[in-house]
Structure 1
Amino acid sequence: MAAPSPYFRVSWLLPWLLTPYVFAAEHPGAIVYKKLCAECHGDRGQGVEDEYDEPLTGEKSIEALAKYIDRTMPEDDPEKTTAEDAKLVAAYMHDAFYSPAAQARLNPPKKELSRLTIDQFRNSVMDVIGRFRMGPGFDRPINAEQGLKAFYRGVELPKPGEKAVDTTPKNGIKAKRPNKTIEKVEPVISFHWGPDSPDKAVLEAEQFQNRFEGSVVARETGVYEFAVKSENGFRLWINDTAEGDALIDGWVSAGPQVREEKKSIYLVGGRAYYLRLEHFKFKEKSASIELWWKPPHGIKELIPAHAMRTDRPRELMIVNTEFPADDSSGGYARGTTISKAWDQAVTDAAIATAEHIVENLGELAQTKAGATDRGEKLRKFANTFVEAAFRRPLSDDLKQLFVESHFASAKSPETAVKRVVLLALKSPQFLYPNLQQGETPDDFEIASRLALTLWDSVPDKKLAQAATSGKLKTRDQIKAEAQRMLLDPRTKAKLHGFFHHWLELERAEGASKDPKIFPDFTPELIADLRESLLQFIDEVVWSEKSDYRELLQADYLLMNERLGKFYGHPVTGEAFQRVGFDPKQRAGVVTHPYLLAALAYTKQSSPIHRGVFLTRNIVGMSLKPPQKAVVFEDSHFNPKLTMREKISELTRSGACMSCHSMINPLGFSLENFDAVGRWRTKDNNKPVNAVSEFTTHEGKLVRLTGPRDIVNYVAANPGGHRAFIRHLFHHLIKQDPTAYGPKVLDDLQKSFAANGCSIQKLILEIATLASEVKSFQTASPP
């Protein structure tokens, strides 16, 4: 038989030759990876239980990844990997599973189906009820004027045999005639009547009654302790206008001695609460009144002027039910877990809310008991309540299910309202605002997303009206509405939460120092440090430029007299003021003493804590959890060593250096700061060495001589920008940015740079993007 022609042989092989990858050689990097890496990291970098659980993903370039692998892998013997091997493995990993593009290809991002977080639940309930109340904080902004309105009223008592012509019914005492009431605004309530009395007539009166009224502003959510000091009678109302519901009731004087009465109340941050303080003197030889508080994470102090306003808002409904903590395993709080405890907490909160509404139905539904139109008004109230909770008008079916059926079956309209409230607050329409209505969001969905992003709440009346009028269809319309919402105190409160998370301030709240070494590092000083940091952040974020880079590069601190004395920069007065420093010594939040003290031990600095924080939160590089936690025991080291020398010895093994090659250089660059954030040039009587070299995302070496080199690198580097953007996105949206598209971070980073690194404009960009984007596939429910 004749041999096949060459043409036949080629034509027979041609389909196979044209079939991709049939004869493609295995990537040479894959061969090295299988040999040296797969045992610990998995065949596709997915991780191996009890070895290295975390998946191999990140944003390093191939060059940077190769240098890292060459220097640290495999952990048990880095010498096994040559520089050429490392390059091959890096190229293979980057394309196969490591890079964001590879991850997007292997694991298409999905938005997680999530319930309301605790903050979102509380804010939403408060604002749904607020739809039915008028006044400052609801249909108009809180007045910016600081302090409380004061009303001083002296009364001349009748002499024996004289007829009384005036009666003060609150205390039952008859007077001869009332003196003129004096009205003014007081910045702080702290009075001891004497020569500086507001009016001579008040001073000379045997009896006088004073009233201070307005609102108190809660900057953050938590428990606030209020206290009143006086030897006279007094009553204090917080967030309650009912005469018999005073938070503190000391109306009956116990004698000539000054006494203090105090009571705590839970308040939601970003809100102003009604405050009224009444003070009554009757024949006592002296008179005084002081109003104090202890805010969350603060110290007991006279309530400062900046925390009080002259406006008198209506009562706010506060859900103070205890909820199980939200899941923060992804690095930010999100509503992705459900438990019996959570379901019970929602039920308890819904019952408390329903009871509050029924007790206040006259005010909320604008109706009186026995009115002929009461049933109609309660039905209208119920319908509007459900629409506000669901963030959109009700369809006929939903209206029948959630409203009409209850009014048809309940014994009374009041009972129907209670059932409607309970059902609405337990419904998936309220608890799961991310349930999609369609592929493309309509105006009501956009309004809901805006409110959740900026306020952790439901749309207010203006936003709901914009949705109803179809005025949320274009990007400009959405951004204009977001711009209005940005200036609301609720946005500022949410941003406080972000910085609390980003800067890990919970560490500082539990920090303590050795009192023998730092006797002047008192709770009062710590509270001043916290206030200094928060005021600095507010000044930068809400300035016209709102420049993120100033957060990192500012060469000044805000200090008062106590801080100035402790940190060696004299300041006069209790007000916080800018104090300039040598730029090499201070660099924004990175070197703020409140943060430095939090990231330190009780007696000395901690390069590891500071280095981990800088690596993850500021520079934006990922770190794997250590396979085995190593506790720093100072007694195990030669007492003549510096802290840098001790940490270098502790982390010198190959297994440690896989991460500490990043952590240590950053931590060492802050060694000029002691355990309370004071500048030093010596550690353990040796000169401080803060010089080191840091390998960047791109694999380049940056020489660090101190904090200024770190912040200058981050402020100018896209990698640092992306870290900040990702943290902010997580806090605002409660989702991963990649779920909104593979280029979201790139686009946000470019607009961030183009807008001069404006934090305010970045917030608007994130809110607008998340509001208008089409629906993505949602992950399975928790």
Structure 2
Amino acid sequence: MKIRWTLVLGCFVITASLRAESPGAELYKSQCARCHGPQGQGVAKKYSQPLAGELSIAQLSEVVRKTMPEDNPESLTPEQSTAIAAFMYDSFYSPIARERTRPARIDLTRLTVNQYRHSVSDILGSFRFNTNRWQDGGKGLKGEYFADRGYRNRQVERTDPTIQFDFGTNPPTEGKYPSPEYSVRWSGSLLAPESGEYTFIVKSDQAVLLYINGNEPLVDARVRSGNQTEYVVSLMLTGGRVVPIRLEFSKALQGVKDKAPKPTPAFVSLNWKPPHGQIEPIPTRFLSPVSVPDQHAVTIAFPPDDQSMGWERGSSVSKEWDAATSEAALEAAKAIIQQFNRISGVDARAPKPNQLQQAKQFAGKFVERAFRQPLTPDQRALYIDRQFQLAGDDLTLAMQRVVLLTLKSPRFLFRETAESADAYATASRLSFALWDSIPDQELLNAAAQGRLKTIADTRKQAERMLQDPRAAVKMRRFLMHWLRLDQERELVKNPKLFPEFEPILPDLKTSLELFLDEIVWSDRSDFRQLLLSDSVYLNGRLAKVYGVNLPADAPFQKVQLDVGKRSGVLTHPYLLSSFAYSEHSSPIHRGVFLAKGILGTGLKPPQDAFSPLAASAHPNLNTRERVLLQTKGANCQTCHSVINPLGFALESFDAIGKYRQLDNQKPIDARGEYITRSGTIQKFTGAVELAKFLANSPEVSESFTRQLFHHLIQQPIRAYGANRTEEYRAFWEQNGYNIRRLMIEIAATAALPRMESRQR
């Protein structure tokens, strides 16, 4: 098994004087340079990665001791290993050393796929009245119950948390239902938790119509075909945006009308499968009884963004991306034309010159919102006057030309860099940081009125913007990335060992999301509680599986699970299930997650693919013993000396996250350890002790800070100053590790020109 420590990114020129002065220079030259190069740049094929990373001298010394030189590892004394590590760290390995010779820079980048989708949706949506309101969110849909099939004789109006009804042969509610015929209309709005394709599933044995984000029905089953009772449709939705939803259900009289009809049952349900999710009833927290206008959603498929740096970057402009932006621009132009009279303010009864003037005014607003700033006279002449002139009297053609030219312009497709001192650029940086989209009118007004000049100004706007559902969506996406749960994965368990798992999988994810939302949006918003909280959200189905006494139909509620044994996200059943095999736990997967995601340690993937040792081949060993056997080689231990001890601390939880005391009839050994950057060996037993260590670890807070910055700003944090990570971490510590305050601080400071933000 060949696994080597990752020492990633960058190599730098070392001056002769520096090499001569360092006590480890000669040792490095004689023992290491033949594989890694005199400047740490890498020379051999198997050592092509530059020596660069985030480890401290103490941690780096341990890696050197165990791996160098290749032909005789562990032959160096601790003093020699430390001398080499110190030389490497100061010369080319550490972030500070890299900053001296090749400073990180802020790059001009295009919009990411999410930013493009969100921006186009918000540009078109900004012409609709109060388009993204979320009133009475999390209450369900308005249900109107009628004593006829024509939605006229209303008996009851109420709010239904979900649409999951088996009415049987009885009337659906109390009231006067003179015949077995009745109808129900559920209406309101739906909040999309992320951008992507949603699958909606309507099940009913009666006539149904489903409308989502439009006036045309997605499901039209007014006349049933045979015995069909399930209808499946897909729809693109934009994350953080609220769209209208309506389901109409009509129960017909069955039987001969001049005879007493035999009572027949009726049922109806509405489920969905969100992106990266499972089929489930649409959760109440995403439904509101308040109706809203429809929203435009970009349906064109885009090539994926570059994520090689650990965050989404708009760094490449390929033919595929260019073609996708062209198709999306055509799609947006079509959408505008279809609803032109509703959103443009053009009076079709007015004289032609008046219509032309009104259309130009609308076009000007469209271009300004896309460019995120007022137009100059030259821009107005090119993007509006010229296009209307070429279209003649055809307003439809003129608007098509304006939309296509605008949405293909670099002024729309590329973001402003942090060097620009323009107030509108500041507004744009702030909105993309928190919403992944264009500034709203309040932010543009602040730019126009000189209210975006200081850090106090940008903080005030950031606090306001955090109340918008779009900010919650971006934070949720980050947290799932931080937990390494943001990628689509097939989470399958052995049905013979865990027959109860598949039905509860959607509930497990919902449970985690409820926990994350509660911590982040609480008054304290204390990051440490993500790791230390002793509560978990369970409903009746989950409670039965994980041994909690709740009614079978109990809704989600906070409970204490396995008191004294669990701690925060580290022991959440969904996370533990995700980092496990179909039959057994996986200390390796869990340890890699802890090392890379939580502690921010760089680890390189194994050079050779491998499969875990089969339990059947070693029937007398438990999981911990099999892992130790498979990773005992010197090459393996380079990484697994860090991975294994972290993962072992979670061994008290099986493949679906249930607490256990035995594994293969042997007592669980949940002891672990970690060498901190200061060189201290931190020992812990079990998840609770591990969580306490992580919650108070500077390495964890630095890693979280750095990852959050990259997710919000999508630029290297070192480009904003060599000490910027430590500045944010110190601010965060002073503010009680409040996640929302850190989010505001990052967005507010990065939005200002770099010189301004440094003078705060």
Q: TM-score, normalised by structure 2?
A: 0.90
Q: Retained in 2: the 8 A contact 1:281–1:287?
A: no
Corresponding residue for residue 237 of structure 2: 267
Check if 1:771 corresponds to 2:751. Answer: yes
| Cα distance, 1:60 vs structure 2 | 3.2
Q: Which moved more, 1:630-639 or 1:292-301?
A: 630-639
Q: Aligned pair in 2 of structure 1 residues 334, 368: CA closer, same or farther (>3 Å)?
A: same
SS in 2 for 1:54: coil
Q: Give 1:95-134 correspondences, 5 Å limit.
A: 95-134=90-129
Shift of 1:113: 2.4
- Which of 419, 424, 445 aligns to 2:425? It is 445
Structure 2 CA distance for aligned equivalents of residues 338 and 198 of structure 1: 58
**Contact kept? 1:154, 1:208, Cα under 8 Å:** yes
The letter of the residue matching 1:211 is R
Aligned AA for 2:300? T
Q: Distance in 1 between matches of 2:470 and 2:142?
A: 24
Aligned to 1:422: 404
* Deviation for aligned residue 1:535: 0.6
Letter in 2 for 1:387: E
CA contact (8 A) 1:123 1:456 kept: yes
Which residue of 1 is the match for residue 306 of structure 2? 327
Comparing 53-62 and 345-354, the one that deviates more: 53-62
> 1:48 matched to which residue of 2?
43
Q: Which residue of 2 aligns with 1:4?
A: none
CA contact (8 A) 1:378 1:414 kept: no
Q: Provide, for residues 238-284 of structure 1, a one-character-per-residue CA deviation record: whole Å limited to 9, x for no partner.
A: 101x3xx11111223568x7833332212122222101223345544
- Once the two structures are TM-superposed, the CA of residue 155 in structure 1 deviates from its matched residue by 5.4
Greater CA drift, 386-395 or 691-700: 691-700
Counterpart of 1:251? Answer: 222
Instruction: Determine the C-alpha separation between the residues in 2 that align with 1:717 and 1:114.
Output: 34
User: How many angstroms apart in 2 are the aligned matches of 1:342 and 1:33?
Assistant: 46
User: Taking structure 1 as reference, are residues 49 and 409 closer, same or farther at Cα in structure 2, changes over 3 Å only?
Assistant: farther
Alpha carbons of 1:335 and 1:700: their partners in 2 closer, same or farther (altered >3 Å)?
same
Q: In 2, Cα distance between the equivalents of 1:305 and 1:658?
A: 48
Map 1:154-303; keep pairs closer than 5 Å. 154=147, 179=153, 182-189=156-163, 190=165, 192=167, 197-201=172-176, 203-205=177-179, 208-240=182-214, 242=215, 245-252=216-223, 259-281=229-251, 283-284=253-254, 288=266, 290-296=268-274, 297-303=276-282
Q: Which residue of 2 aligns with 1:338?
A: 317
Given the superposition, is the C-alpha separation of residues 480 and 24 from structure 1 closer, same or farther in structure 2, using an over 3 Å criterion? Answer: closer
1:412-491 correspondence runs (5 A): 412-435=394-417, 439-491=419-471
Corresponding residue of 2:372: 391
CA distance in 1, matches of 2:616, 2:147: 71
Amino acid at match of 2:246: R
Which of residues 481, 504, 525 in structure 2 aligns to 1:546?
525
The answer to whether 1:628 aligns with 2:628 is no
Report how far residue 83 of structure 1 moved. 1.8
SS at match of 2:201: strand
Per the alignment, do residues 519 and 22 of structure 1 end up closer, same or farther by CA in structure 2, a change over 3 Å counting?
A: closer
In 2 relative to 1, CA 22–696 (structure 1 residues): closer, same or farther, beyond 3 Å? closer
Does 2:25 correspond to 1:30?
yes
1:525 to 498, 504, 507: 504
For the pair shown, the structure with the greater C-alpha radius of gyration is 1
Conservation of the 8 A alpha-carbon contact between 1:119 and 1:456: yes
For residue 161 of structure 1, what is the aligned residue in structure 2?
A: none
Secondary structure at the residue paired with 1:249? strand
Alignment of 1:366-765 (within 5 A): 366-369=345-348, 371-372=350-351, 373-411=354-392, 412-435=394-417, 439-506=419-486, 509-522=489-502, 524-572=503-551, 573-581=553-561, 584-634=564-614, 638-765=618-745
Distance 1:687 1:429, change over 3 A: same
Measured after TM superposition, the shift of residue 191 of structure 1 is 6.0
What SS does structure 1 have at the residue aligned with 2:475?
Answer: helix
| Deviation at residue 722 of structure 1 after TM alignment | 0.6
C-alpha distance in structure 2 between counterparts of 1:671 and 1:283, whole Å = 59
Q: Distance in 2 between matches of 1:479 and 1:325?
A: 32
CA distance in 1, matches of 2:116, 2:18: 58
CA–CA separation in structure 2 for the residues paired with 1:577 and 1:313: 29
Cα displacement (A) at 1:755? 0.8
Distance 2:534 2:104 in 1: 41
Aligned residues: 728
Query: Which deviates the most, 607-616 or 192-201?
Result: 192-201
What is the rounded CA distance, in whole Å, between the counterparts of 2:372 and 2:222 in structure 1?
45
Query: What CA distance in whole angstroms lies between the structure 2 residues aligned with 1:180 and 1:557?
Result: 41
Q: Is the CA contact 2:302–2:320 (under 8 Å) kept in the aligned structure 1?
A: yes
CA separation in 2, counterparts of 1:287 and 1:392?
Answer: 59
- Partner residue of 1:6? none
The residue aligned with 2:258 is none
Structure 2 residue aligned with 1:70, among 65, 74, 77? 65
Where does structure 1 differ by over 6 angstroms across 4 or more consecutive aligned residues? 20-24
- Counterpart of 1:343, as a letter, is D
Q: Counterpart of 1:720 in 2: which secondary structure?
A: helix
Give the CA deviation at 1:132: 0.7
Normalising by structure 1, report the TM-score: 0.88
Q: Give the CA deviation at 1:112.
A: 2.5
Query: Quick one: distance in 1 between partners of 2:458 and 2:370?
Result: 21
Q: Is the Cα contact below 8 Å between 2:137 and 2:286 reproduced in 1?
A: no
State the alpha-carbon separation in 2 of the partners of residues 185 and 556 from structure 1: 29
Q: For 1:155 and 1:721, how far apart are their aligned partners in 2? A: 61
Q: In structure 2, which of residues 340, 356, 361 is the aligned counterpart of residue 361 of structure 1?
A: 340
When structure 1 is superposed on structure 2, of 382-391 and 290-299 the one drifting more is 290-299
Compared CA separation, residues 77 and 639, structure 1 to 2 (3 A)? farther
Query: For 1:575, what is the secondary structure of its paired residue?
Result: coil
Q: Tell me which moved more, 222-231 or 412-421.
A: 222-231
Residue 548 of structure 1, CA deviation? 0.6
User: Amino acid of the residue matched to residue 346 of structure 1?
Assistant: T
Larger mean Cα displacement after TM superposition, 44-53 or 459-468: 44-53
1:312 aligns with 2:291: yes
Residues 203 and 229, structure 2, Cα contact 8 Å, conserved in 1: yes
**Could you say what secondary structure the match of 2:501 adopts?**
coil
Q: Name the CA distance, whole Å, in 1 between partners of 2:672 and 2:341.
A: 69
* Contact kept in structure 1, 2:710 and 2:717, CA below 8 Å: yes
- 5+ residue gaps, structure 2, are 1-14, 255-260
1:672 counterpart SS class? coil
Checking the alignment, whether the CA contact within 8 Å between 1:221 and 1:269 is kept in structure 2 is yes
C-alpha distance in 1, partners of 2:678/2:616? 37
Q: Shift of residue 336 of structure 1?
A: 0.9
Q: CA deviation at 1:616?
A: 0.7
State the Cα distance separating 1:388 from its structure 2 match: 0.4
Amino acid across the alignment from 1:554: S
How many angstroms apart in 1 are the aligned matches of 2:672 and 2:148? 75
Shift in Å, 1:294: 1.8
Moved more, 266-275 or 489-498: 266-275
Paired letter, 2:219: I
Q: Is the 8 A contact 2:280 2:506 kept in 1?
A: no
Structure 1 SS opposite 2:46: coil
For 2:55, give the aligned amino acid. Answer: K
SS at match of 1:149: strand
Per-residue Cα deviation, 1:50-109 (whole angstroms, up to 9, x for no partner): 222332223333333323322332344223322221122122112111222111102111
Structure 1 unmatched runs, 5+: 1-19, 157-167, 171-177, 777-782
